[in-house]
Structure 1
Amino acid sequence: MELSGPAGPPPFVRLAAHEVRWRLLSALAHGDLRVRELVALLGEPQNLVSYHLRLLRSAGLVTACRSSFDGRDSYYHLDLERCADALAATGAALHPALRLFPAEAAGTPAGTPSVLFLCTGNSARSPVAEALLRHRSGGHAEVTSAGSHPKAHLHPHAVRVLRLRYDIDVADQRPRGLDTLTGRRFDYVISLCDKVREVCPDFGGHPRRLHWSIPDPAADQDGYPAFDRTAAEIDTRVRHLQPVLFPTPHQEVRP
Structure 2
Amino acid sequence: MNNIHLEPLGKGIEIYVSDSYHFSTDTILLADFSLPKGRKKCAELGTGCGTIPLLWLRHNKNLEIDAVEIQSDACALAQKSVEYNNLGDKINIVNADLKELKGKLSFGCYDLVVCNPPYKIGGGGITNPENAKLIARHETECTLDDICFTASKLLQFGGSFCICQRPERLADVMESMRKFSIEPKTLRLVQQRTAKAPKLFLLEGRRGGKKGFLNVLPTLFIEDENGDFSEEMMKIYGCYKTPFEELK
TM exceeding 0.5: no
TM-score by length of 1: 0.28
- Greater share of strand: 2
- Greater share of helix: 1
Of structures 1 and 2, the larger Rg is shown by: 1
